[in-house]
Structure 1
């Protein structure tokens, strides 16, 4: 089974870096006891040229449909990557005509470290390296200011708004209304299942709408349901580099989700977009079509053996648990140090605030 044969459309962008977490956060390694410091030193990543060569090999040998299953380059977080590594990633993306994605300004720790390391915001630094263009997408973007938004808009770049993950991880709240007003393309995402718990895009839309409303009392400062829906469809397609998806229109891929208007979420049916954003939770989905081909009919998947997939997922979990068993003790010992050190960094003053409280207590 592959995603190509199961009828999915996807952009695959495995996260890469050339600095470990303990190298990326200044002072964290030095805060560890000697024995833990020696342990985390074994987690250092290999030579960056090997990673870049591996990415280049994957891009060079890509055999899946260039229209439906696409690769992208994803240096995970700027502070986890050297400038040379980021530039090499960008070079590969441009050479092969693919997108580049990175988690930028996701947390206050990232923003603070970026300012202290570069003397400017993360977006300004990346732009100074020549990395931001119409094929660049910054995920989360919580700790970006207006100048960052303007720069992204001017370059034709995109932002991926992951409201559920941002709340789950305590990142703070993305200013969707402001980003849209400045003219940045915004897509809506779920982030990974390990940090947002599910991949439900209806829930992601609802979270995005609610988060825009808790940032102020004036409805004129809220994102409308039409804007949320546009971000989740057209905006997300643009962020992924899919120029012929996201709309029901001539010349576009026939990617269609059919909902049952007899389901409880649609009784009574009185405002379609509002109900899609605020009420629907995927339980009303009846059929799904991808590229004009039905992959779900009457709630039944036509292209996947779910029982077989469940067995494979459980086997993968067991395999990973066994592979990581030797590191479990190290994690338990590192957790109290990391959970106190990083909030300490986040308590440092920064030029903007993206939390709902005025003061951070640690």
Structure 2
């Protein structure tokens, strides 16, 4: 298949911080072949008119728990520890594969509709998430969340190994698998070392929660005499490529460790705000040259998976916290949501920017909306004004998976019906 997008404004996110006006993108199969003036005699299978639209790389949700959509609006207005231990974990203990399948598909619909093309997911029954990825056409990193339980340690490692063997590299490389210890407070040092051994064996990365709350950090100092980040660093975890979700309560030593070890922190502003976890020092980490990306966290602590909302909040929250109007500028946040996320997921050679030779993971935004006029600055508009509902078309691996707001790969009505049904049944259980 070949696809020509004509007369489109492009924000490539290729490091030049530029906007290409009235240009064209030519795609063959899964790759971007040309950008600019395309020969008139080119014989494209499909042509899309890009007038009044902006093309940007597909957004990358670098940390989420998509099966948790079933618990959206189920347990709110609680601090994280109480939310997890008294509300979420007891219900999750009753989860089935069918529950996670429908909850994950519901999240994929929501992500596609708001411009996310790739995500990194940590949850249970990850084979079911893989099945959803096959159907949706999205790109994703599957990670089976590992919480240490006496007598089940090896079983969880075996689950991850089987997940890797079943799914890594499948669907034209759209699916990857990493190893996911939940957090240092749910995995002992010995178990973390076993998990690291598995990651080395599989030659893959780590996905972990780190320094999310003040309590977590205080408990780590009581138990180990050091922060969670210093603790896992001393264990050797950061010798592996690491996606570190949250990193809210970090000091200067933590930040230096993250930078020197090329760790990829993921900022989750909505979840951190809602659970009162605090404000990650994004500006400080950026000044150290750390590769920061963005994520929604799960939709039971957010309560949505709209990356444009995260883009907006990531910039304005830090301006207020730092009392600095130029802190975390618009272009920086767009990088966090695109190319930086691709780097965190070890995918930046293929996705994260619109460049010749890269995979065609592109979203088209309909700019012909009252809230997007006048068009003084496209970069500012994308960060401060665009809504997830402005996404018109979504392309992944060169395939159109949503066009004019219609998802082509999934039965949205069926998914909403079944997700509602299994969610009610789950809570009643």
**Is TM > 0.5 for Structure 1 vs Structure 2?**
yes
What's 1:330 paired with?
none
1:271 aligns with 2:401: no
- The reply on whether 1:6 has 2:112 as its aligned counterpart is no
- What residue number does 1:142 align with? 248
The match for 1:15 is 145
TM-aligned CA distance change 1:47 to 1:134, over 3 Å: closer
Shift of 1:128: 0.7
TM-score (norm 2): 0.67
Cα shift at 1:97? 2.1
Tell me by how many angstroms 1:283 deviates. Answer: 2.0
Distance 1:59 1:255 in 2: 24
Checking the alignment, whether the CA contact within 8 Å between 2:135 and 2:410 is kept in structure 1 is: no
**Alignment partner of 1:61: what SS?**
helix
Tell me which of 223, 233, 236 is aligned to 1:117: 223
Counterpart of 1:90 (choices 184, 196, 204) is 196
2:157 aligns with 52
> 1:9: Cα distance to partner?
0.4
Question: 1:134, 1:155 within 8 Å by CA — same for their partners in 2?
Answer: no
Q: How far apart in 1 are the matches of 2:425 and 2:185?
A: 31
Partners of 2:361 and 2:395 within 8 A in 1: yes
**1:229 has 2:334 as partner:** yes
Structure 1 position 98, deviation (Å): 2.0
1:249-270: per-residue Cα shift (whole Å, max 9, x none)?
A: 1222111110112112321111
- Cα distance, 1:302 vs structure 2: 0.8
Would you say 1:319 and 2:403 are equivalent positions? no
Alignment of 1:154-303 (within 5 A): 154-220=260-326, 222-243=327-348, 244-303=350-409
Cα separation, 1, equivalents of 2:370 and 2:205: 40
C-alpha offsets along residues 103-138 of structure 1, whole Å, 9 cap, x if unaligned? 100001111011111101111110111101361011
Give distance in 2, aligned partners of 1:160 and 1:218.
Answer: 22
1:245-291 per-residue CA deviation (whole Å, 9 max, x = no partner) reads: 11001222111110112112321111111111111111211111111
Distance (whole Å) between structure 2 residues aligned to residue 276 and residue 112 of structure 1: 38
User: What is the CA distance between 1:196 and its match in structure 2?
Assistant: 0.6
Show CA shifts across 1:19-39 (max 9, x none): 5xxxxxxxxxxxxxxxxxxxx
Whole-angstrom distance in 2 between the partners of 1:85 and 1:3: 30
- Quick one: distance in 1 between partners of 2:215 and 2:393? 43
Gaps of 5+ in 1: 20-44, 324-362
Question: Kindly tell me: are residues 66 and 123 of structure 1, through their superposed partners in 2, closer, same or farther at Cα, counting changes over 3 Å?
Answer: farther
Root-mean-square deviation (CA, aligned residues, Å) is: 1.6
- 1:185-237 Cα shifts (integer Å, max 9, x gaps): 100110000111000000000110111111122335x1111111111101111
TM-score normalised to structure 1 length: 0.79
Structure 1 residue matching 2:388: 3-state secondary structure: coil
The answer to whether the 8 Å contact 1:133/1:157 transfers is no
Unaligned runs of 5+ in 2: 1-130
8 Å CA contact 2:144, 2:160 repeated in 1: no
Q: How big is each residue's C-alpha offset from its partner over 1:32-79, in whole Å with a ceiling of 9 and x where there is no partner?
A: xxxxxxxxxxxxx54312222222222233363372111121111111
In 1, Cα distance between the equivalents of 2:354 and 2:138?
18
Q: Which has the higher contact order (CA 8 A, sep 6+)?
A: 2
| Secondary structure at 1:90 match in 2 | helix
* Correspondence for 2:167 among 46, 62, 69: 62
1:12–1:70 Cα contact (<8 Å) kept? yes
Structure in which a larger fraction of residues adopt strand: 2
Cα 1:201–1:162 change in 2 (3 A) is same
The yes-or-no answer on 1:306 pairing with 2:306 is no
State whether residues 141 and 160 of structure 1, in contact with CA within 8 Å, keep that contact through their aligned partners in structure 2: yes
Larger CA deviation: 66-75 vs 307-316: 66-75
Which residue number corresponds to residue 153 of structure 1? 259
